[in-house]
Amino acid sequence: MPITFSPIKRREFLTGTFTAGLLAVLSPKSIFSDEPDVRQTNIDHWVFLSDTHVPGDPQKVLHGQNPNENFIAVREEILKLTDKPKGIVITGDFAYLEGKPEDYAKLVSLTAPYTEKDIPVYVALGNHDRLNHFFAAFTQFKKENSPVHNKSVIILETPNCNLFIMDSLFEDEKGSGYFGRSQRDWLAKELDARKEKPALLFAHHNPEDLADNQHFWYVVKPRKQVKAYIYGHTHVYQQSIRDNVHLINLPALGWEFQQGKQPLGWSDVFLSENGIQLTLNTTDKKHPQNNDVRQLTWLR
């Protein structure tokens, strides 16, 4: 079921008259009532994150990192942004390693300050996630509302772009991902119904690690409205181009595998009709890629 932002006029966002009724459904007020958030939402402003790998145990450390601490540190930065983001997209491996209920319970509490501020969080599930445990914890999302059976997918329609949050989790397979025929058919149909605006596709897996990479690309390649595929999984920050589609590999937040060479952090993102700007904010402020800005223009 698409979440449509487009009927709300851009000016209403900018002047703060939008009442966020729809978002209230997605982001129920948490019990941690706080001061009202007076910042205005910028519908073109988003936060992208990946591979948070949050365990239920807040003390747990792996690969020299405490994912709970990393999550909280970046959350505090994001909540202080003067230009309030429209939402947060997390490209998978949301949970620690096995998608346990206690991981998602912890994530519900860690994301509560976002929901309190009406900043919804959308997750493209990864191979370390589990569909049913995710839905059991994040009750603002309903499995039966997902238009693809046994997958968690959603379309976010904004004035400049349509964001397709997809699900490459394949629970029978260790590591690799799979969209499946019904999700690919759904994607083709929904893209064909939205030819007029740039489409950004989000999922966890890099194309090479998708078992149905080739069939997925049969859907993407001829549909020129697809401008970018945005993903995680590798814990490497990199970008490339395939058939004039930007492939944007977000860095991880939980940990990395190259002794600090790869950044950990979050991307501060602005969308326009013509492209995307990503500014990386690393957890280690001395990392050479802190404040790295990537300005990408749509290529087709």
Task: Note the residues at the interface with Fe ion (CB under 5 A).
Answer: 51, 93
Q: CB of 238: closest distance to Fe ion in angstroms?
A: 15
Q: CB of 233: closest distance to Fe ion in angstroms?
A: 6
Q: CB of 103: closest distance to Fe ion in angstroms?
A: 13
CA angle 3, 100, 74 (to 5 degrees): 60
**Token digits of residue 220:** 């993407």
Backbone angles phi, psi at 147, to 5 degrees: -70, -10
> What is the DSSP code (8-state) at residue 243?
T
Say which amino acid occupies 281. Answer: N
Who's near 76: CB < 8 A, 6+ residues apart? Answer: none
Which residue sits closest to Fe ion, CB atoms considered?
Answer: 93
Nearer to Fe ion, 157 or 209 (CB): 209
Q: CB of 53: closest distance to Fe ion in angstroms?
A: 6
Nearer to Fe ion, 93 or 212 (CB): 93
Nearer to Fe ion, 13 or 48 (CB): 48
For 145, the enclosing helix (H) or strand (E) is none
Distance of CA 65 to the CA centre of its chain: 21
Nearer to Fe ion, 51 or 167 (CB): 51
Any idea how long the chain is?
Answer: 300
Where would I find the H helices in the chain?
A: 10-14, 21-26, 67-79, 101-116, 131-137, 181-192, 213-220
**Token digits of residue 197:** 């605006």
Q: CB of 257: closest distance to Fe ion in angstroms?
A: 10
Nearer to Fe ion, 51 or 116 (CB): 51
Nearer to Fe ion, 173 or 192 (CB): 173
Nearer to Fe ion, 87 or 99 (CB): 99
* Locus of tokens 């591979």: 51
N- to C-terminal Cα distance for the chain? 27
> What is the DSSP code (8-state) at residue 41?
E
Contact indicator for 208, 176 with CB cutoff of 8 Å: no
Bridge-based pairing state of the strands 121-123 and 84-90? parallel
Q: CB of 13: closest distance to Fe ion in angstroms?
A: 33
Q: CB of 89: closest distance to Fe ion in angstroms?
A: 15
